[in-house]
Amino acid sequence: MIINGIKITGLKAAAGESKSCDYYGLHLDLGYDLSDGRLYTSEYHNCNSWSEWQYPIIAAGRLTGPCTMQEIALIVARKVEEYKISRQNLAAMDAWGEQAAEEYEKSKRRSSPHMSKNRPKPRARKRPMVWR
């Protein structure tokens, strides 16, 4: 099935597995493979368990109750879009960091070594009075 231009395979199996979710701790973690569009599920019987997916598989959501194929497809599509936006934001932040570093290096090069001669000399400190 293709939702928002994202190919997702394995939806029928995920929808079938979601029927066993009972709202009382049993849940499914969804993982979406960015390289081939496959949807993976992991079943857990307690809310303190989760899956850690490795790239190119991203965490695409958690099902705690029965869901249709369409609902699962929308959940996955939303997560994939969020992932793409976050990657774009990280790339923009990296570019900004590189630009700021270059500007800082340029400003360091512009400051000449004789600038310290033009600074006023610090005043000599007075010694504190000692009472004897």
Tokens for 51, please give them: 């899956």
Q: Where are the domains of the chain?
A: 2-106
Q: Which residues pair with 59 in a beta bridge?
A: 31
Q: In the prediction, which pLDDT does 13 show? A: 92
Q: Which residues pair with 61 in a beta bridge?
A: 30
Q: In the prediction, which pLDDT does 23 show? A: 65
Element (H, E) at 108: helix 69-110
Beta strands in the chain (DSSP E): 2-3, 6-7, 27-33, 39-44, 57-63
Q: In the prediction, which pLDDT does 52 show? A: 76
Tell me the per-residue pLDDT of 2-35, one tens digit each, with 9 for 90 and over: 777 788 888 899 998 888 887 677 888 899 999 9
Which residues of the chain register pLDDT less than 70? 23, 47-49, 110-122, 129, 131-132
Residues 6+ apart with CB under 8 A from 12: 69
